[in-house]
Amino acid sequence: MKREIKFSLVFRDMWQSAGKYVPRVDQLTRVAPAIIEMGCFDRVETNGGGFEQVNLLFGENPNKAVREWTKPFNEAGIQTHMLDRALNGLRMSPVPDDVRQLFYTVKKAQGTDIARTFCGLNDVQNIAPSIKYAKEAGMISQCSLSITHSPIHTVEYYTKMAIELIELGADEICIKDMAGIGRPHSLGLIVKNIKAKYPEIPIQYHSHAGPGFNVASILEVCDAGCDYIDVGMEPLSWGTGHADLLTVHAMLKDAGYKVPDINMEAYMKVRSMVQEFMDDFLGLYISPKNRLMNSLLIGPGLPGGMMGSLMSDLEKNLESINKSNIKNNKPLMSEDQLLIKLFDEVAYVWPRVGYPPLVTPFSQYVKNLAMMNVMQLEKGKARWSMIADDIWDMILGKAGRLPGKLAPEIIEKAKLEGREFFEGNPQDNYPDALNKYRKLMNEKQWEMGEDDEELFEYAMHPAQYEAYRSGKAKVEFLADVAKRKAEQNVPAAEAQPAAQSQAASFALPTTPQVMSVDVNGQKYQVTVDFGNTSSAAAPAASAPVAAQPAAAPAASNSAGGGEEVLSPLEGKFFLVKGTSDTPLKVGDTVKEGDVLCYIEAMKTYNAVRSEFSGTITSILPAPGDTVAEDDVLMTIG
What residue spans define the domains of the chain?
545-637
pTM reported for the whole predicted model = 0.78
The pLDDT value recorded for residue 389 is: 83
In 429-475, at which residue ranges do the beta strands (DSSP E only) sit?
A: none
| 387/371 Cα distance (integer angstroms) | 11
DSSP, collapsed to helix, strand or coil, labels residue 631 as: coil
Q: Give yes or no for a contact between 233 and 267, defined as CB atoms under 8 angstroms apart.
A: yes
Least confident residue range of 3-17, 357-371, 506-520: 506-520
Closest to 119 measured CA to CA, from 446, 324, 356? 356
Angle 128-130-134 from CA coordinates, rounded to 5°: 130
b/e map 105-130, b = 16+ CB within 10 Å: bbbbbbbbbbbbbbbbbbbbbbbbbb
In sequence order, the 6+-apart residues with CB closer than 8 A to the CB of 411 are none
Q: What is the pLDDT of residues 358-392, one digit of tens each?
A: 777 888 888 888 888 888 888 788 899 888 888 99
The pLDDT value recorded for residue 2 is: 84
Average pLDDT over residues 118-140: 96
DSSP per residue, 119-144: -TT--HHHHHHHHHHHHHTT-EEEEE
Average pLDDT over residues 549-571: 64
Average pLDDT over residues 610-618: 91
pLDDT at 547 over 70: no
Q: What is the pLDDT of residues 413-458, one digit of tens each?
A: 999 888 999 989 999 989 999 999 999 999 999 999 999 999 999 9
- In one letter, which amino acid is 612? F
The pLDDT value recorded for residue 62 is: 92
- In one letter, which amino acid is 318? L
The pLDDT value recorded for residue 287 is: 83
The pLDDT value recorded for residue 612 is: 86
Average pLDDT over residues 536-541: 34
Average pLDDT over residues 518-527: 51
Average pLDDT over residues 492-497: 43
Q: Is 626 left (phi over 0), alpha (psi -120 to 50) or beta?
A: beta
Query: Cα–Cα distances in Å, from 19 out to 48, 231, 400, 522?
Result: 16, 17, 29, 30
More confident residue, 109 or 525: 109
| 13/306 Cα distance (integer angstroms) | 11
The pLDDT value recorded for residue 554 is: 40
pLDDT at 556 over 60: no
The CATH code of the domain at 545-637 is 2.40.50.100
Mean confidence (pLDDT) of the chain: 85
| 307/289 Cα distance (integer angstroms) | 10
More confident residue, 338 or 579: 338
Average pLDDT over residues 48-52: 83
For the chain, give the longest Cα–Cα distance.
Answer: 80
Average pLDDT over residues 33-50: 95
The pLDDT value recorded for residue 580 is: 64
Q: Give yes or no for a contact between 446 and 105, defined as CB atoms under 8 angstroms apart.
A: no
pLDDT at 539 over 60: no
The dihedral of CA 361, 364, 366, 368: what is its sign?
Answer: negative
